[in-house]
Structure 1
Amino acid sequence: MSKREALIVAAYEAIAEKGFEGLRLRAVAARAGIDHSTLHHYFGTKQDLVDAVVDHATGQVRTGTSADGSREERLCHHLGMVGTMIAQRPELHIVLRELDLRSLRDPRTRATVAAHEEGWRSSLAGFAGAEVELIIATVKGASLCPEQAPAVLKNLCELLRGGRPCTF
């Protein structure tokens, strides 16, 4: 792993453990095994590091919703993968929710998060706009209670399928 990657992972872990309130550049550098002054060689500002953490985190949640199968099959596949990911990797979703909260106060983070959400929306192409927004909001909410996420997303799938069972 490069020093740049080590810094990103260290910042990601710090946010997962302590939130943005606990994100300290000296601690990130120490965790990555480099001197604090060297951190600025890789990231000019703390926000540049946060942007890299956004890329790192969102890159891990791309489910690759397939264009194959019916609309309902794609929906079940997508929600099943996301539910499993939330249950297995709660720290990832803690970081993503922290980024969502920060984006409410910080225009640069908001723009970065919004760009990644557009990728999510495009992966759900073919679904109605209201359905896409309901899926995104439910996934974000379900990630706050990881052990319940698969069941919640299965219920959402069944709701969007008109009550028909969703198997995943």
Structure 2
Amino acid sequence: MRSDRREQLVVAAYRRVAEAGFEGLRLRQVAEDVGIDHSTLHHHFATKQDLVDAVAEYTTRQFWTTAPQGPDPAVALREHLQALCRLIEDRPDLFAVTVELDLRARRDPAVAAAMARHEAGWREVLTTVLAEGVAHGSWSVPVDAAAGAELVIAAVKGARLVPEVAGQVFGQLEALLIDGAQDHAKGERP
């Protein structure tokens, strides 16, 4: 029961951040949203910072299902970008919270550390996929795996600010990295 209540508090805080940003996150309101007394919230989260860290973890966990996977690096990257594009279209709340977390991280070392921890897995998986693509000749341009991972992350973080162009942005990224290499492998000019 305690973990259920904790999860309810995290989801309530997440919703508050999605609707009003961190400036609108009030512990009393979060407790009220879950139907508990404000003092009871502190049995689950000692500080507001602990709750913010839990929101960061909850938010980044939503992306785990999009992780690139499979034996073909180009297919894995394409599917990852397509899954992220669907998330941007279907879950604007998720991206509103990620924007809030990234902005807060610039001013708050604790949030920056939490986001770095939570994004490390994404960065590692992307770097691995890109490195495997380099080894297999999957990319149409020379790719430094670490810099390429940062490019993908930057494209995703930029596209979330203008969701209506996310499909075009990710399509262009695919065309630059993937499609040209496949055309080249078929003997066509990129």
Asked whether 1:90 is paired with 2:107, we answer: no
Gap runs ≥5 in structure 2: 131-144, 183-190
TM-score by length of 1: 0.92
| Pairing 1:26-41 to 2, within 5 Å after superposition | 26-41=28-43
Distance 2:21 2:123 in 1: 26
Gap runs ≥5 in structure 1: none
TM-score by length of 2: 0.82
Indicate the residue corresponding to 1:135 in structure 2: 152
Bigger Cα displacement from structure 2, 122-131 vs 43-52:
122-131
Higher helix proportion, which one? Answer: 2
Distance 1:78 1:38 in 2: 40
Asked whether 1:159 is paired with 2:176, we answer: yes
Distance 2:146 2:179 in 1: 17
Of 161, 164, 177 in structure 2, the residue corresponding to residue 144 of structure 1 is 161
Asked whether 1:112 is paired with 2:129, we answer: no
State the AA in 2 paired with 1:90.
P
Distance 1:160 1:8 in 2: 38
Query: Aligned-pair distance for 1:163?
Result: 4.0
Distance 1:64 1:103 in 2: 23
Residue-pair matches, total: 164
After superposition, the CA RMSD in angstroms is: 1.5
Indicate the SS of the match to 1:44: coil
State the AA in 2 paired with 1:64.
A
Of 9, 26, 37 in structure 2, the residue corresponding to residue 24 of structure 1 is 26
Of 69, 78, 96 in structure 2, the residue corresponding to residue 66 of structure 1 is 69
Q: Which structure has more RCO (C-alpha within 8 Å, separation ≥ 6)?
A: 1
Query: Aligned-pair distance for 1:25?
Result: 0.6
Distance 2:84 2:148 in 1: 16
